[in-house]
Amino acid sequence: MVKRKVGKYQLGRTIGEGTFAKVKFAQNTETGESVAVKIYAKTTILEHRMVNQIRREISIMKIVRHPNIIRLHEVLASQTKIYIVLELVTGGELYDKIVYQKRLSENECRKYFHQLIDAVDYCHSKGVYHRDLKPENLLLDSEGNLKISDFGLSALAEQGVRLLRTTCGTPNYLAPEVLSHQGYDGSAADVWSCGVILFVLLAGYLPFNELDLATLYKKINAAEFSCPFWFSPGVKSLINRILDPNPETRIKINGIRSDPWFRRNYISVRRGEDEEVNFDDIDAVFNDIEDHYVAEQVEGDDRGPLLMNAFEMITLSQGLNLSALFDRRQDYVRRQTRFVSQEPAKTIISTIEAVAESMGFKVHSQKYKMRLEGVSANKAGYFAVVLEVYEVAPSLFMVDVRKASGDTLEYHKFYKNFCNKIEHIIWKPAEASAAPCLLRTVTY
């Protein structure tokens, strides 16, 4: 078993992986607190000229301290890597809840919208504009509270500069003025995105959703959408005032707060006192990177799959009741899913390789970790999945399956198809024998 420690943090399994970084579960050995550690290779940052972008993202996350925003604890660096220590959020993405439930009740939507508006308003009060608000960037903690994440495209207001110029974000959630390339107010653009999110929560689908970008942009510019029949008059009125294509007449956050539909059951979040922000650790990482680093320790060998300890299993199950790990009722598919097998680890690996190749994927294997690469089902782009095998008990293995690149909805379809093809190696406890065991997600 290999054990890796970075400073005071004991690193565990990988819980997320993207193009430029991976995220690992970790435990603070001094306090016992569970955290998520986002890891960048310095060579990758330099090669892709991402220093300023990542430094800005980290700085912004230090500035925004709010109960409904994912918290940054600290930033560390070794000689080869940068470690961003974040709050561990275990409830998954709001996007996944929409996919599972199709659409949410009006009262539940209102609760999430309260928390979203509170957090966005706080960001704006700090001069921070998110610019990529969407359900996939809204996480849920173990108590179901919303947390805004991913400030990679955020902007920080500059003195004397009123309008932002960079066109960025996800097309379906972009405000018309962002598409015009004429400059836009970051606050008004974020409000538009919040309106699209509210529509999606209530309807279960996007108000603007065309495959052809030209047609999509035309409909966004004209605010050409219609509310389904189950929208109440109150929320329909509010959405129409938010999705106003004219940013000058679009409702502001103060107007949203005073709206009758919004005010129902509204309780303002108690923020607490603002903390003094210290950027010394960021300066140490980016200014004089080779002279300020933490120790990386690697113990043991890597002859077999990583062993998942009891603490990580308890975190996965969100409590001491481990039945959630094997409960068929938790089987809705998220960006990261996992199944359990009693087959030998090498059999699991060879089976996955064979099935993946039969599905048209290129397979890259390294010990007990695999990356499947191919094109998306609609041939529109690159799609990749990472799988990793862990030993949770003698002769019992857990396989983490994570989307690395591509659309989340497409990942849902891939996973269901993939599980059907490998069903013969998936362990089914007697009480959950009807279908594969899918475990809960830990998302950062």
The catalytic residues are: 132
Structure tokens, 436: 């594969």
Closest alpha carbon to 391 in 433, 334, 340, 322: 340
Structure tokens, 24: 């690992």
Residue 345: its H or E element: helix 345-358
- Sheet with 34-41, strands from edge to edge, namely 72-77, 81-87, 34-41, 21-28, 9-17, 3-6, 296-299
Given a contact cutoff of 8 angstroms between Cβ atoms, the answer to whether 12 and 26 are in contact is: yes
- Sequence-distant (≥ 6) Cβ neighbours of residue 180 within 8 angstroms: none
Give, in order, the Cα–Cα distances in Å from 170 to each of 41, 130, 175, 204.
26, 12, 10, 17
Give, in order, the Cα–Cα distances in Å from 176 to each of 172, 185, 328.
10, 11, 43
Given a contact cutoff of 8 angstroms between Cβ atoms, the answer to whether 444 and 72 are in contact is: no
Q: What is the C-alpha to C-alpha distance for residues 72 and 26, in angstroms, rounded to an integer?
A: 14
Given a contact cutoff of 8 angstroms between Cβ atoms, the answer to whether 116 and 104 are in contact is: no
Closest alpha carbon to 73 in 16, 31, 133: 31
For residue 428, the SS3 value is coil
Structure tokens, 182: 């004429």
Q: What is the C-alpha to C-alpha distance for residues 377 and 182, in angstroms, rounded to an integer?
A: 36
Task: Tally Cβ neighbours within 10 Å of residue 267.
Answer: 8
Residue 116: its H or E element: helix 106-125
Annotated binding site for ATP: 38
